[in-house]
């Protein structure tokens, strides 16, 4: 096994370890793209960059002198293709969009794979540490920061027994929410009347308190409170 082969093998091992570390963090938090996905993405990116780096081996003799080697084109192709994989983990549920962080982690994992394929091992170590820090430490910082919780709120009544809007607003405001907007619709072939709104609060426990209060409304057929989030 010559020096070039050993070097390429080292690149692939580094890519596998870096991708695996990021994937472990995603798997720990139950994300759809986890350990194996991130490892494969990083390894594949490294392999493709090795193909570009060792392009001279494709040609024999003096032919290589007439060929201009540009590995950056391979990197551009990798990052474009990885966008389709990232899009696959993004899911929209009502007003909630989930999977954006996982998609971003797949994208950065591909970038780390490219660095490993080129052989920039110092950069691989630094970027891997930074990525793990962003995914874990920043999660803790984000949880400690004051922020608003938004939720999509739907209430359904029988048309002949609709609770007045003013009473509903008072109930929601009393439980620590503000109302961003409100819309109305008739569903069930004219049988039901629905209020649809976006509500905001700063305390997560208010969601539970509001749901308990709504469950006691006699005229209410059903309701839904769907928090938005990543």
Reduce the secondary structure of 140-199 to three states and give it as a string.
Answer: HHHHHCCCCEEEEEEEEEEHHHCCCHHHHHHHHHHCCCEEEEEEEEEECCCCEEEEEEEE
- What are the CA-CA distances from residue 54 to residues 46, 113, 162 (Å)? 12, 16, 72
pLDDT at 61 over 60: no
The C-alpha atoms of residue 175 and residue 57 are separated, in whole angstroms, by 70
pLDDT at 92 over 70: no
Mean pLDDT calculated for residue range 65-94? 70
Mean pLDDT calculated for residue range 205-226? 90
Q: Provide φ and ψ at 68, rounded to 5°.
A: -90, 115
Secondary structure (3-state) at 10: helix
- In tens, the pLDDT along 6-44 reads 777 888 888 888 888 888 877 776 666 667 777 778 887
Mean pLDDT calculated for residue range 53-57? 67
The C-alpha atoms of residue 109 and residue 82 are separated, in whole angstroms, by 10
Query: Higher confidence at residue 214 or residue 51?
Result: 214
Query: Higher confidence at residue 53 or residue 15?
Result: 15
Mean pLDDT calculated for residue range 2-7? 75
- In tens, the pLDDT along 195-208 reads 999 898 888 899 99
- In tens, the pLDDT along 152-199 reads 899 999 988 898 999 999 999 999 999 988 999 998 888 999 999 989
CA-CA-CA-CA torsion for 6, 10, 12, 17, nearest 10 degrees? Answer: 160
pLDDT at 47 over 80: no
Mean pLDDT score across all residues of the chain = 80
């Amino acid at each position: 096994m010559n020096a070039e082969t050993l070097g390429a093998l080292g690149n692939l091992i580094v890519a596998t370890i870096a991708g695996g570390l990021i994937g472990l963090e995603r798997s720990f938090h139950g994300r759809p793209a986890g350990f194996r996905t991130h490892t494969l993405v990083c390894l594949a990116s490294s392999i493709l960059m090795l193909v570009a780096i060792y392009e001279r081996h494709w040609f024999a003799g003096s032919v290589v002198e007439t060929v201009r080697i540009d590995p950056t084109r391979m990197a551009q192709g990798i990052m474009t293709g990885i966008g389709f994989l990232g899009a696959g983990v993004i899911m929209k549920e009502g007003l909630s969009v989930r999977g954006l962080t996982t998609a971003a982690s797949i994208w950065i994992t591909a970038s780390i794979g490219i660095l490993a394929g080129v052989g920039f091992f110092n950069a691989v170590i630094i970027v891997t540490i930074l990525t793990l820090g962003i995914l874990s430490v920043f999660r803790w910082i984000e949880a400690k920061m004051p922020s608003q919780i938004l939720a999509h709120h739907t209430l359904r009544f029988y048309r002949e027994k609709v609770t007045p809007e003013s009473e509903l607003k008072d109930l929601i405001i009393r439980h620590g929410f503000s109302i961003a907007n409100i819309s109305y619709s008739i569903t069930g072939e004219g049988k039901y009347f629905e209020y649809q709104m976006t509500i905001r609060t700063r305390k997560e426990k208010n969601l539970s308190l509001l749901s308990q209060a709504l469950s006691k409304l006699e005229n209410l057929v059903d309701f839904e409170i769907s928090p938005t989030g990543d």
